[in-house]
Chain A
């Protein structure tokens, strides 16, 4: 089952973790009783807050239920919701917007994050202090970040436009990052990259530090050029780490709601309306609960399926 291959990859150590039963049972509860006693609260909570609602969502997705009209007759509509979604132009638009956002933000984060990791790995003086500073944005609340970037991205009074005008000489009031049809897709990518490049950096740094020195020493003895060393040693050995970072970032950005909702709330028009924002509009503004449940199921299946395929590829890369 793909599920187990996924866990193997992500943890690495699950394989070595099939414990032997402890020596002999002495007294007290049996190990088996303790195991179930300890796991059951967790499973019970997840069943109540995650699985039961998921099943409910799937059930609702076959109905025309509207949660603002709880007493209206609920009709079973079969696969109509799914058919409507797959032929809904707004949904396809949202998926395209999401794809654009995910691909570009991750591409930029790989370049910046990997680049920074390579530089930090040079172990210059006080590098750990600067690394910690760089890491700060990713720990902050995405919603609060989105909110204060609307301030920084204001035309004229905003710091970003002012900084751009200082560097390039463009009039700071001549462009607006939020509210412009051309630029706002890039505004959300900009803020996401500011926030999450450190994430890729941190994981790449772990990858770089996992490469033993003797490999480079051997390459040096063989007079491999630095360029060659990068392509034949550094990159292949960091690749599994980089792919793991991409996996986590892709899942997170596919689900992205908070930062973008506060930065552009999908606007102007629906230029930056990501899938989650469309879902929120359908579910909590238009109150089309059945329809949005079907959309939620489709989104979940998409993430789940894509992640599984990706993890198979990742496993192949690691085995090489």
Chain B
């Protein structure tokens, strides 16, 4: 579009209009991104700087937030701290300078691991199940295909709390409450609808002539699926997997109602990172930053497929 032959395309905007449009968009982008940068900066503030008035833009960076995030501490008298052997690490030193003593590791690492296990587990299952179903819907005449596809989608219209009521009872009977397996199954079911719809779109775009040629060459249908269709669908499968992963990663309602410890993920955990007298904002900001950075990365990777993902494949380009 930019490489038009005519120098004065009618639809191409004048430089002044472009500059004006650009200025407003950049202003909006800056305003929208400042809250995120602020959280990233707060993670490096000391607790007193984080709640200073007026809010501090320039501050002396401190790792206290990150140290507080990963440790449990207790306040001690200076005399007691003086009686201890010298600190063995930089973070112990930092904690002691606040008249505190490290009592052990906090729960953030297990919670982060839970997010990873449940996220990857459910993503793998949803994409596996979704690819099979999407292929069948795309290539074969399935009776009631439209109704089935709609049924798959309608499961997303339920408010999560409404779904959680019977799941809570069911999991209690099956002893799946607060287990990794229970959360993986639940997220797989929620993600399966997205996976089927997205992957069906991707597979529809692969010309069926390829498979037919393979079939003529003596491949069975399954071989053609594995050796011809799957390699062609790799980009689509990867994009779908990232969308599923982001959903599981971000999910809160089910996690807060169905997990309490063993299988608790990050979203219900982060708001309860507390220090003395309320939320420990630098530690919360540190957790938030660590939690959001992978998503920022994936958003940039996914840029081209974003539109498709957020509309269940309804809009493509």
Known: A13-B201, A38-B135, A67-B169. A143 touches B21 (CB 8 A): no
A71 at the interface (CB under 8 A from B): no
Kindly identify which residue among A45, A124, A152, A255 contacts B188, using a CB–CB cutoff of 8 Å: A45
Interface 1/0 per residue, B158-175 and A, CB below 8 Å: 111111111111101000
Kindly identify which residue among B29, B267, B315 contacts A143, using a CB–CB cutoff of 8 Å: B267
Measured in the bound complex, the distance between the Cα atoms of B90 and A265 in whole Å is 39
Contact call B317/A209, Cβ cutoff below 8 A: yes
Which chain B residue shows the least CB distance to A173?
B53
Q: How far is the CB of A147 from chain B (nearest CB, A)?
A: 5
Measured in the bound complex, the distance between the Cα atoms of B157 and A254 in whole Å is 10
Tell me which of A48-56, A73-81, A83-91, A100-108 binds B.
A48-56
Q: How far is the CB of A236 from chain B (nearest CB, A)?
A: 17
Measured in the bound complex, the distance between the Cα atoms of B1 and A210 in whole Å is 13
Interface size for B (C-beta < 8 A) is: 126
Given the complex, which residues of A lie within 8 Å of B17, measured CB to CB? 122
Given the complex, which residues of A lie within 8 Å of B164, measured CB to CB? 283-284
Interface of B is mostly: helix
Contact call B141/A21, Cβ cutoff below 8 A: yes
Measured in the bound complex, the distance between the Cα atoms of B139 and A37 in whole Å is 13
Given the complex, which residues of B lie within 8 Å of A141, measured CB to CB? 249-252, 267, 291-292, 295
B36 at the interface (CB under 8 A from A): yes
Known: A42-B133, A139-B298, A143-B267. A29 touches B221 (CB 8 A): yes
Given the complex, which residues of A lie within 8 Å of B54, measured CB to CB? 162, 172
Contact call A244/B281, Cβ cutoff below 8 A: no
Known: A41-B132, A49-B185. A144 touches B292 (CB 8 A): yes
Given the complex, which residues of A lie within 8 Å of B149, measured CB to CB? 7, 11, 14
Which chain A residue shows the least CB distance to B155?
A50
Contact call A133/B10, Cβ cutoff below 8 A: no
> Which residues in chain B, 14-61, are within 8 Å of chain A measured between CB atoms?
17-19, 21-22, 24-26, 28-29, 32-36, 38-39, 42, 51-55
Contact call A248/B311, Cβ cutoff below 8 A: yes
Given the complex, which residues of A lie within 8 Å of B77, measured CB to CB? none
Given the complex, which residues of A lie within 8 Å of B24, measured CB to CB? 119
Q: Which 10 pairs between the two chains have the least Cβ-Cβ distance?
A: A28-B220, A296-B162, A143-B252, A53-B166, A124-B22, A49-B189, A141-B250, A38-B136, A42-B133, A35-B140
Chain B residues with CB under 8 Å of chain A are 1-2, 9-13, 17-19, 21-22, 24-26, 28-29, 32-36, 38-39, 42, 51-55, 129-130, 132-133, 135-142, 145-155, 157-170, 172, 185-186, 188-189, 192-193, 196-197, 201, 204, 208, 211-212, 215-216, 218-223, 225, 246, 249-253, 256-257, 266-268, 270-271, 279, 281, 284-285, 288, 291-292, 295-296, 298-300, 303, 306-307, 310-317
23 A–B pairs (Cβ distance < 8 Å), ordered by A: A9-B314, A11-B201, A23-B216, A41-B132, A46-B152, A53-B167, A60-B165, A123-B18, A124-B18, A131-B25, A133-B32, A136-B299, A137-B32, A141-B251, A143-B270, A152-B38, A156-B53, A202-B310, A203-B310, A248-B311, A251-B157, A296-B158, A300-B159
